[in-house]
Amino acid sequence: MSIGVFDSGVGGLTVHRALVNRLPQADFIYLADQANAPYGGRPGEEVVNLTRAGCERLFDAGASVVVLACNTASAIALRRLQQTWLPGYRKALGRPVNVLGIIVPTIEAATGLPWEHEAERRGDKVEQLDVLGVFSTQGTTNSRVYEIEIDKRKQDIAVFSQACPDLVPMIEADAGAVDLAKAVEGYVQALKNRIGRYPDRAVLGCTHYEIIADIFRAALPAGTPMIQQPAATADALERYFERHPELDPGTGGGRVFLTTGEPGPQNALVQTFWGGPLRFEAA
């Protein structure tokens, strides 16, 4: 058995890298849906169907758990798949399997509370609150998943999401640091104008933003804490396997990389996400 990691494309390699480093003995299969990326601007129904197809491919390949290393898929598809598809699929497969996302671990890191926690209603004003700014794709922002889920468990955190629709295309087109800094500055200022001040903490809620974390850091007031999804997801996955001995992550240290796009050696951008040279096989 193995751990499947699914992303719309290659940004999820930032998360994958942290998972592999945390569980080096486990067998991993990464699937990049490059033929259909990006997901950030797609209608929700398409994101659900593509994510389900990706999970099926990974379970077929022997995954016991699939991690959706994509905020857009986690925000839009995860709950739907867990409720409407996974129970029947699990039964048909005849073995225990599960699908996990990267938003739960991020929220756990942001609130310090486990997923099950539900808060009492409070009526604090925004000036007294711990204000969390979430930068993400249009799809994740529209889903309001961070606002809804954080509000359920910690009402002294006010969440403001900022869609940054230009960033994924710019990063994929290898935009220069100056242009990226200008775009990030624009999004940070747009968020600040809506809140009336800078956020106290920030979530980089898109796989691609990890590699421009320094640009976000420079655009935010010095020292603004940032919640890093790769580390938060690795922490959560390690704890998950401790609680679920029935799910087997494998012990052979295998590393398989599949793509629905162009197989073969990958370009410099992919190497930046992964942190080294990489070959994809055809999915």
What are the catalytic residues?
70, 206
The helix (run of H) or strand (run of E) holding residue 219 is: helix 213-219
Could you check whether the bond before residue 38 is cis, i.e. omega within 30 degrees of 0? yes
Q: H/E/C letters for each residue in 21-75?
A: HHCCCCCEEEEECCCCCCCCCCCHHHHHHHHHHHHHHHHHCCEEEEEECCHHHHH
> Helix, strand, or coil here: 237?
helix
**Binding to ligand DGL by residue 37, rule CB under 6 A?**
yes
**Binding to ligand DGL by residue 260, rule CB under 6 A?**
no
**Binding to ligand DGL by residue 168, rule CB under 6 A?**
yes
**Binding to ligand DGL by residue 86, rule CB under 6 A?**
no
Q: Which stretch binds ligand DGL (CB under 6 A): 36-44, 53-61, 118-126, 178-186?
A: 36-44
- φ, ψ of residue 186 to 5 degrees: the values are -60, -45
**Binding to ligand DGL by residue 137, rule CB under 6 A?**
yes
Query: Are 30 and 257 in contact, with CB atoms under 8 Å apart?
Result: yes
**Binding to ligand DGL by residue 249, rule CB under 6 A?**
no
Q: How far apart are CA 208 and CA 72, in angstroms?
A: 12
Binders of ligand DGL among residues 178 to 237 (CB under 6 A) are 206-208
How many chain residues are in contact with ligand DGL, going by CB under 6 A? 18
Binders of ligand DGL among residues 2 to 31 (CB under 6 A) are 7-9, 11-12
Q: Which residues bind ligand DGL (CB under 6 A)?
A: 7-9, 11-12, 37-40, 70-72, 137, 140, 168, 206-208
